[in-house]
Structure 1
Amino acid sequence: MSNMKLNFIIPVRHYLSVKDWDSVKSNLVDTIHSINGQSSSNWHCYIVANEGTDLPEVNEKFTIINVRFPLNNLPDKTRDIQLFYDKVREDKGLRVYEAVKHCNKNTFFMVVDYDDYVNSSITDFVVKDADKPGWFISMGYLYSGGGYLLKHNKFDEVCGTSNIVKVSFLDRYTSQDGQLSLDKIKELLGSHRFIKKYMNAEGYDYKALPFPGAIYNIGISSSTSQTPSIIRRVFSPKNIIKKPFDFINNILNLRLIDEKIIRSFNFNKSKNTY
């Protein structure tokens, strides 16, 4: 049991592709703070970023992996959405792959976007059930500042911080020289949407984590997803008029950021008002 570990992996975009790096760094500080709140010590975190990136200071539980990836010039999202996402998955997947190479095959890895929060009980839960192939996070929260969260019951469909996978699972997709193809890197490491499909195809018992596993920080200008804030999502006139049941459901799923949430996710108190 002592050899079992959960490896958190935070891929960080090329700093030259970000207009407001101070905002990214501030959110990364909160993500690091959240991960540091794990109730078990059987974890390590890898931060993958280009050389020269201004990163926050970290302790010995974190390893910074410096890479020399070229600037990822993303195509116009409005002209070719599939090409846009393909390029995002390629850049993210290659960064995650650099960290996976440092992980013991019998351990787990979890990709964490650099502006999200993770439940402090995740490591403890994972290392106690090490025979599983992994878990996906179906219960989680959306956050966009302020004192409220929005509960989401299909969390893995919207957020990249949503899969916990045994490292050895990747072995069946590697070539004879032990490498993943670029297509597999993009699907298995650069996206959160395909892991469940691959697990099910192989007959693995890939189940949902039985508690809210992460908080998805939305409505951030530097994010590639450009997801609307909670207020816009809940109180959108379009949703109120055309989707009244969604509106009511969103109202019922609003949650106050209380002391229990702060403890569960090692949430930074200074970032919210409640």
Structure 2
Amino acid sequence: MLVFVIPLKSPQASKSWELVTKLFERCIKSVCHQTSSNYRVIVVCHQKPKIEFDHPHLTYIEVDFPPAINEPDTFSRGHTDKGRKILKGLIHAQEFSPSYTMTVDADDCVSKYLAEFVNQNHQNNGWFINKGYKYQNESDVIYVKRRNFYKMCGSCNILRYDLNNLPENPEYNRGYGYYKFYIDHEKVRETLAKDGNHLQPLPFPGAVYIIATGENLYYGTSQLTFSIFNRKTLNPSIREEFNLYPLNL
């Protein structure tokens, strides 16, 4: 079974809780759009968002973690909070006896074929998404990221559950460094390879990185390149696979 873990920022840490909620609702609809029913979704949040969508495979965990006030800047505080929530979700995933887990950022969309693929390929340590898409809301085009998608987007690693480096006694009041493995998604592949646990590239585009929302922790449009050679029309097939619908902001 594949278990998706989604950390959701708090209303207090959001510039627009309304926007965060709309992005999250599209994300969760995308994740629950799987062609296989052998998956579960865990959302870890300070406050459960008010959305109409619900699903029997969806679990919310509400936490009361204190703000990461000892971190030097807003960037570090946001990532520390995210790391705590990811760890909490991965620990809770034990209840479902997962074979694999995948952390998904709460504004991204994922392929509907992920659970099916994972359930048919249990012999691997896991996969990293080397090829994916990047998309700016309300656009009628989408950009193909042909390699190194995992270095750009946090929704990128599918790991065999025992490779998540989970502490025996998890703590949720520590600083950034304690959660680095869960936060630094671009380093997971290299970290695991050092111990002989090599990840394979997912053989199809696995996720859509939603950019320039104003709520991203990592990148704005100024840090992303847009080549016309990688641009393609956002056709109905891509929209359906990733459940990528307009938000009408």
- Residue 144 of structure 1 is matched in structure 2 by 136
Matched pairs, number = 240
Query: Mind listing any 5+ residue stretches in structure 1 that lack a counterpart?
Result: 78-83, 235-249
Is the 8 Å Cα contact of residues 28 and 56 (structure 1) preserved in structure 2? no
* CA–CA separation in structure 2 for the residues paired with 1:37 and 1:159: 20
CA 1:180–1:205 in 2, change beyond 3 Å: closer, same or farther?
A: farther
- Residue 189 of structure 2 is matched in structure 1 by 196
Is the 8 Å Cα contact of residues 15 and 53 (structure 1) preserved in structure 2? no
- Residue 246 of structure 1 is matched in structure 2 by none
Is the 8 Å Cα contact of residues 15 and 214 (structure 2) preserved in structure 1? no
* CA–CA separation in structure 1 for the residues paired with 2:239 and 2:15: 30
TM-score, normalisation: structure 2 = 0.87
CA 1:221–1:253 in 2, change beyond 3 Å: closer, same or farther?
A: same
Choose the corresponding residue for 1:170, options 164, 168, 188: 164
Matched, 1:118 2:95: no
Matched, 1:98 2:94: no
Task: Write out per-residue CA displacement over residues 190-235 of structure 1, whole angstroms, 9 at most, x where no aligned residue.
Answer: 22122112211011231110000000000111222242179x843x
> How far off its partner does 1:90 sit?
2.0
- Residue 128 of structure 1 is matched in structure 2 by 120
Q: Which amino acid aligns with 1:94?
A: R
CA-based RMSD of the aligned residues comes to 2.4
TM-score, normalisation: structure 1 = 0.80
Task: Write out per-residue CA displacement over residues 97-135 of structure 1, whole angstroms, 9 at most, x where no aligned residue.
Answer: 111112236521111101100001111111111121110
- Residue 220 of structure 1 is matched in structure 2 by 213
> How far off its partner does 1:19 sit?
2.0
Q: Which amino acid aligns with 2:51?
A: P
Matched, 1:157 2:151: yes
> How far off its partner does 1:178 sit?
4.7
> Greater shift after overlay, 182-191 or 29-38?
182-191
Query: Mind listing any 5+ residue stretches in structure 2 that lack a counterpart?
Result: none
Is the 8 Å Cα contact of residues 22 and 247 (structure 2) preserved in structure 1? no
Task: Write out per-residue CA displacement over residues 234-267 of structure 1, whole angstroms, 9 at most, x where no aligned residue.
Answer: 3xxxxxxxxxxxxxxx111001110110122122
> How far off its partner does 1:271 sit?
3.8
Q: Which has the larger radius of gyration?
A: 1
* CA–CA separation in structure 2 for the residues paired with 1:56 and 1:167: 30
Partner of 1:194, secondary structure, is helix
Is the 8 Å Cα contact of residues 48 and 60 (structure 2) preserved in structure 1? no
Q: Which amino acid aligns with 1:142?
A: K
Choose the corresponding residue for 1:54, options 35, 41, 49: 49
Partner of 1:101, secondary structure, is helix
CA 1:137–1:69 in 2, change beyond 3 Å: closer, same or farther?
A: same
- Percent identity over the alignment is 27
Is the 8 Å Cα contact of residues 42 and 59 (structure 2) preserved in structure 1? yes
